[in-house]
Amino acid sequence: MNQLLCGFAAWGLGVGLTGPAQAQYMYTRLDVPGATDTVGSGINDAGQIVGYYFIGDMYHGFLLDVDGSYTTLDFPGADYTEALGINDAGQIVGYYVIGDIFHGLQLDVEGSYTTLDVSRSGSTGAHGINGAGQIVGSYEDAAGRSHGFLLDVDGSYTTLDVPGANYTEAIGINDAGQIVGLYLDAFGVHGFLATAGG
């Protein structure tokens, strides 16, 4: 019995000293040619990457295709544009700014932009899109309070507010309709997972 206990103690000590497993990754630098700053913010299963970059005094969205080519994404007439999410169909979401107002955007595979604005909102930003075309993001109401939203494929918006939170932001959605994001309450910033019917 003592040998067994000593064996468990030695095993526990060995496990405690090994630390967390460290995966081996190869890192590839992403720099839009001529940009001073580049941020990758979304990737689909094909390996297409979206993000935004800064050059001059403006932010621009970009699509990095699997062949290594960059395409600049600028909503027509916008002061700046950021691409934040892409699904496997190649639909892209993000936001653009004109003046001081943020507007959500969707870019379809044919290259057509659609503005996404929650009704009666001060600002809207789209952050994630799943394979069905459901979009999540955040908006600011007339009082300046931020809420998450889900834009369904039928065009209906659903407000997402974590109970007890004074700020909610929906950032990602998977093909099962599960939504992740962040919220702020009196105790700090927290992540959340929202599941329909839960």
Instruction: Give the predicted TM-score (pTM) of the model.
Output: 0.86
What is the CB neighbour count within 10 angstroms for residue 173?
26
Given this model, what pLDDT does residue 18 score? 57
Query: What's the DSSP call for residue 13?
Result: H
Over residues 84-105, the pLDDT tens digits come to 999 999 999 999 999 999 999 9
pLDDT of 48 over the 90 cut? yes
Residue 11 pLDDT level (bands cut at 50, 70, 90) = very low
Given this model, what pLDDT does residue 198 score? 58
Q: Kindly list the domain boundaries of the chain, sorted by start residue.
A: 31-116, 121-198
Residue 196 pLDDT level (bands cut at 50, 70, 90) = confident
What CATH number belongs to 31-116? 2.40.10
Q: Do the beta carbons of residue 87 and residue 93 sit within 8 Å?
A: no
Over residues 142-185, the pLDDT tens digits come to 888 999 999 999 999 999 999 999 999 999 999 999 999 999 99
Would you call 89 helix, strand, or coil by DSSP?
Answer: coil
Given this model, what pLDDT does residue 13 score? 44
Phi, psi of 149 (to 5 degrees): -145, 155
Q: Which of 3-12, 20-29, 51-60 has the lowest mean pLDDT?
A: 3-12
Which whole number is the average pLDDT over 10-39? 77
Q: Which of 22-26, 80-84, 110-114, 186-190 has the lowest mean pLDDT?
A: 22-26
Spatial separation of the C-alpha atoms in residues 15 and 17, rounded to whole Å? 5
Spatial separation of the C-alpha atoms in residues 82 and 105, rounded to whole Å? 9
Given this model, what pLDDT does residue 123 score? 95
